[in-house]
């Protein structure tokens, strides 16, 4: 990257982030993917992975603090779930899109050719690296200010319960992003008197049954099974080290049944 193009990147991205770096080399490192570094043959050139590690920790702390302020009566388990919704790969990817971060990345030829600028994992990592760079350059208070602004749309969705209640939309986004497919809901049973019916819905993904749930309406049953399937997939992904495979079995929840 030449001096002129580097200055353009620094100025344009700094404006979007809302912060001008005192040490622009930190911003440059945050944009430097390992594939780019590997092709340069310079042992002194550092990729963004260490900054990503730092940014991940800072982001967790800030989002935890903001959630505790917003949900003062929420229990630890609930706060953990809320945080997971905000800082997972999909949330970070959304922030990266608002910054148009992909256009600024330094990628190797292979990643460039395989649409690396659009990959959610690369973009999510770059957001964390960027936050790590801000933290090193400006300290915690400024980083918290920037995180609060950049993640406000996601935090607001949690605050209004939209993110928590609309699990069908959340599951759809998640399966599209991670498995390139959509969940399917099938009404398998209606029982009870006309004034008090119970609806049973089965959820499948790629032909695999992930669970079923009952509700007083078809919509309620779909939301229930989507909620539990979402948390099941998230937990399974964490256990498998972010594997993109659908679970064949889930500990204590194989072929889930939720009522």
Nearest one of 157, 246, 243, 164 to 203, comparing CA atoms? 246
**Helices assigned H by DSSP within 21-88:** 24-30, 34-40, 49-70, 76-87
Q: Of residues 56, 111, 137, 222, which has the active-site annotation?
A: 56
Is 128 marked active-site? yes
Cα atoms in the 13 Å half-sphere on the side-chain side of 109: 2
* Residue listed under structure tokens 């398998």: 188
Spatial contact of 199 and 190, defined as CB atoms under 8 Å apart: yes
Is 56 marked active-site? yes
Q: Of residues 52, 125, 128, 137, which has the active-site annotation?
A: 128
Sequence-distant (≥ 6) Cβ neighbours of residue 259 within 8 angstroms: 213, 214
Pairing, β 208-215 against β 256-258:
parallel
> If you compute the radius of gyration of the chain from its CA atoms, what whole number of angstroms results?
21
Encoded tokens for 246: 């659908």
By CB atoms closer than 10 A (0-12, 13-18, 19+), residue 131 is buried
- The residues assigned a catalytic role are 56, 128
């Amino acid at each position: 990257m030449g001096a002129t193009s580097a200055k353009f990147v620094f100025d344009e991205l700094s404006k979007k982030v809302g912060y001008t770096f005192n040490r622009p080399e930190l911003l440059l490192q945050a944009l430097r993917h390992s594939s780019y570094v590997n092709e340069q043959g310079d042992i002194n050139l550092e990729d963004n992975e260490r900054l990503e590690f730092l940014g991940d920790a800072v982001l967790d702390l800030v989002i935890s603090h903001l959630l505790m302020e917003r949900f003062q009566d929420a229990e630890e388990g609930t706060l953990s779930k809320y945080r997971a919704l905000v800082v997972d790969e999909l949330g970070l990817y959304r922030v990266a899109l608002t910054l148009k971060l992909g256009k600024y990345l330094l990628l190797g030829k292979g990643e460039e050719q395989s649409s690396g600028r659009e990959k959610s994992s690369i973009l999510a990592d770059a957001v964390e690296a960027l936050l790590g760079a801000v933290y090193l350059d400006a300290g915690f208070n400024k980083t918290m200010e920037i995180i609060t602004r950049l993640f406000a749309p996601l935090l607001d969705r949690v605050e209004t319960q939209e993110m928590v209640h609309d699990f069908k939309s959340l599951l759809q986004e998640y399966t599209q992003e991670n498995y390139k497919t959509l969940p399917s809901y099938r009404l398998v049973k209606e029982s009870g008197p006309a004034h008090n019916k119970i609806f049973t819905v089965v959820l499948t993904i790629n032909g695999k049954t992930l669970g079923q749930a009952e509700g007083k309406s078809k919509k309620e049953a779909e939301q229930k099974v989507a909620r539990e399937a979402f948390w099941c997939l998230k937990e399974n992904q964490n256990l498998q080290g972010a594997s993109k495979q659908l679970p064949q079995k889930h500990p204590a929840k194989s072929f889930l049944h939720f009522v």
